[in-house]
Amino acid sequence: MQEFFDICAEIESTMCLIYRRMAHAMRGNEKLQELMLQLAKDEADHANQVRYARVLPQSESFAGVKIGKSRLELLLLKAQSLLRDLENDPPTEKQALLKAIELEEEFIGVHVCTAVEFKDEKLKERFRMLARDDEKHVGTLRNYFNEVYCPAT
């Protein structure tokens, strides 16, 4: 169980770094830069929440994990690969938005809220709130993308 939380925290931390790199690449677009920095802040908070879950009494808080370690490791590798790519070749605004949407959608499926069986209902609700944040991220990114790249005529 602890290894599960370690990988999840690493994914969240990597996402934070990805959004910071994207924000750095968007210097000419203050609105998009602010959006990316807010997402980075949210991901850093999520990483801290996952680290908090790691130190809780496992037998009292959790019943088990519903997602295999290999799937988590694959997603972590994908996020780390994107981070390296961003460092070597900063994306265009459009590429950054599309990649951010893709990652957020993919990571929703392995969010702690859906990946863990909880015994503690308050803890379960706490992680449901984090999952809703990630869903909001997707909506915010999509809305911005549509506003800029698919304006209503």
Of the two residues 10 and 130, the one the predictor is more confident about is 10
Alpha-carbon distance of 118 to 138, in angstroms, equals 25
Alpha-carbon distance of 121 to 66, in angstroms, equals 17
For residues 18 and 83, the answer to whether their CB atoms sit within 8 Å is yes
pLDDT of residue 145: 93
Give the type of residue at 59. S
Q: Considering the entire predicted model, what is its pTM?
A: 0.89
- pLDDT reading at 106 higher than 90: no
pLDDT of residue 17: 96
Alpha-carbon distance of 70 to 83, in angstroms, equals 20
pLDDT of residue 113: 66
